Every structure is written in structure tokens, then in C-alpha cells.
């Protein structure tokens, strides 16, 4: 199932049906990202949100550049500085 009608509850609460939560791998207490798009609302898991952010940044990096390694190197240099 990929569609279901739900009603907003008190305070605008939206309940994600159990089979949807299961398909997304969500459990009580998990954080999700809500993205308002021109055609509706998108719900992303934390992992999906991170992957989306990484893809956005990756578009602006030269091939083979590794920001994590650069940051680690910078921190090591700072730690070694007098």
C-alpha cells in the first residue's frame, strides 16, 4: 500500500499508519524530517535526511575530495600547533 487517507488530530497531529512506519523502519521516539514541497509533504527518516544532505554537498565537491579526512587532518594540525 502506498496511499492512505488520515485525519489530522488535535493540535495538527498526524498519525503515520503502522504499516508505513514499518516499511520506513521507524520506531516510537525516532526523529523524522518533514519537507514541504510544492506538491505536498515529504517525510524522511534521519538516515534519508543525512543521505539527502550528503548528496547536496557532494554536487559542489571536486571528485575524490574527502571533507571528513580534511577535517581530521586540520584538527590534528591544530592539536600539534604550539
Q: Are 60 and 76 in contact (CB under 8 A)?
A: no
- Which residues, 6 or more positions from 77, have their beta carbon under 8 angstroms from its beta carbon? none
Domain boundaries, the chain: 10-80
C-alpha to C-alpha distance for 6 and 41, rounded to whole angstroms:
13
Q: Which parts of 1-82 are beta strand (E)?
A: 32-37, 40-45
Burial, 47: exposed, middle or buried (Cβ in 10 Å; 0-12, 13-18, 19+)? exposed
- What does pTM read for this prediction? 0.65
Q: What is the pLDDT of residues 36-82, one digit of tens each?
A: 999 999 999 999 999 999 999 989 999 999 999 999 999 999 999 88
Amino acid at each position: 500500500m502506498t496511499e492512505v487517507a488520515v485525519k489530522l488530530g488535535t493540535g495538527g497531529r498526524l498519525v503515520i499508519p503502522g504499516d508505513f512506519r514499518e516499511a520506513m523502519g521507524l520506531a516510537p521516539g525516532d526523529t523524522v524530517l518533514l519537507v514541504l514541497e510544492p506538491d505536498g509533504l515529504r517525510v524522511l527518516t534521519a538516515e534519508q535526511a543525512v543521505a539527502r544532505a550528503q548528496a547536496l554537498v557532494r554536487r559542489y565537491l571536486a571528485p575524490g575530495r574527502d571533507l571528513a579526512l580534511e577535517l581530521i587532518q586540520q584538527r590534528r594540525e591544530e592539536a600539534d600547533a604550539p
